[in-house]
Amino acid sequence: MTRVIHTGDTHIGYQQYHSPARRQDFLAAFEQVVEDACSDDVDAVIHAGDLYHDRRPELPDLLGTLAALRKLDDAGIPFLAIVGNHESTRGGQWLDLFERLGLATRLGSSPHVVGDVAFYGLDHVPRSRRDELDYQFDAHDQTHAVLVGHGLFTPFVHGDWETETVLSESNVAFDAMLLGDNHVPDVAEVGDTWVTYCGSTERASASERDPRGYNLVEFSETIDIRRRTLETRPFEFISVELAGDEGIERVRQRVREFDLTEAVAIIELTGEGETVTSAAVETFATEQGALVARVTDRRELDLDAPVATDVSFADPDDAVRERVREMGLSTAALDVEETIRASKVADSNVREEVKTRLAERIDDDLSAFTTAESPQAGDGDGKADADDGDEVADPDETTEVSDADEADNEKVAAVADAVANGGTDGEAIREDDSDVNSDAETETDAESNENSSLGDFA
Ligand SMILES: [Mn+2]
């Protein structure tokens, strides 16, 4: 019998909500998986990609990873892994460094045997290059064969990579596919093959509400896939429905019902009620002990009504969103703006993602490049003045708030300027990513769905 831990989508280095504590959490989740692997004495830890949140982890992230991998190595537990879309670079992968140090094995088309199982790897491959794949693998002589892959595979929701195609074109008959990319854990049987996602180990987005964890997979006569949950940072999801005359007091009352100590508080306002600024709610939640608080105001606001001109720098994203909405940009321009500022696309992957999205638009829908006919408001100069935004929530806002890095606010101003001035060379946009031209092609279709509240994967 061979027993392994199947984990993935660790996203080490993700400074979610700009919080250094959150960055620590992603590493801590990986450390916990390693602890469990050691105390359980499993035969291997299988990592299905996205160990890192982006392709440029910082030194503390790398040192933390090395310490964890060394611990596994000391316990004699091999770490077998592939490369995910978030961390992929054109040159060598971080995983190659760990392999060189003797702390990891990068899985590929040759079998790596643990117990009586032959493990193979299939790194993330952008959709545009999948037709070139031949799914040819070296032969093995083991009882079981497993393919470790990263991508959105069918039959799971949002799947764009046909599992049937992979299995039928492969010259190796796989008993199981251990997958990463979709952050929602799941299991299905495709023909005679078990196909499973282990899910992410920390909440990489507020849409990941269920407890996080990993898979414990046992290979004997049969294949047994079990899920184990991890202790992660508490998230409190607080929904407040406001009646006509209710405002900040009602929100405070509701927030007090929760123990927010060291928690991430995700607060959603619905119904009607008075103007409530996100900043006031976030400040209150933080005073109640929350590590981080984020507010999404889903109320239909009357845009003609006079609005309190209460400028909040606690959430400049709100101000930027509002100004961008007023500019009457084309769908394509909004798409670019959203990719750069609001989506969860890692900074270092933004350029490639924008290119992919624009290419798709050019192929499918040229009308997306037409400027919207009647901007809803605006002061006429067409420029995004991020500093004069009123505190108004965008009723269309469906994403979780403010995953963007600090740099994103600068970038959106640059984009807004470029678009408003008819400039398309985007020099200012590329400024802080100047070496990106030489970086890998990474398609991150997954993240693009985030704003249609499908953000369960990345
Ligand atoms: Mn991921």
**Tens of pLDDT, residues 47-84:** 999 999 999 999 999 999 999 999 999 999 999 999 99
| Greatest alpha-carbon span in the chain | 74
If you search the block for the tokens 């670079």, which residue do you land on?
89
Q: Cα(124) to centroid of ligand 1, in Å?
A: 11
pLDDT for res 60: 97
CA of 41 to the centre of ligand 1 (A): 26
Residue 277: predicted pLDDT:
94
Q: What is the pTM of this model?
A: 0.70
Rounded Cα gap, residues 42 and 5, in angstroms: 7
Q: Which of 69-78, 109-118, 292-301, 344-353 has the lowest mean pLDDT?
A: 344-353
Distance CA 34, CA 445 (A): 30
**Alpha carbon distance, N-terminus to C-terminus of the chain:** 33
Is residue 222 within 8 A of residue 183, CB to CB? The reply is no
Cis peptide bond prior to 20, omega within 30° of 0 = no
Which positions ≥6 away from 336 have C-beta within 8 Å?
Answer: 354, 357, 358, 415, 419
Cα–Cα dist 121/178, whole Å = 9
Query: Which distant-in-sequence residues (6+ apart) come within 8 Å of 203 by Cβ?
Result: 209, 212, 232, 233, 235, 264
Instruction: Provide the annotated active-site residues.
Output: 86
Ligand 1 centre to CA of 4 (Å) is: 20
> How far apart are the C-alpha atoms of 191 and 178, rounded to whole Å?
15
pLDDT digits (tens, 9 = 90+) for 303-360: 555 555 555 555 667 777 777 777 777 777 877 877 777 666 777 788 878 887 777 7
* Residues in binding site for Mn(2+): 9, 11, 50, 85, 150, 183
Q: Which of 5, 70, 1, 72 is closest to 42 using CA atoms? A: 5
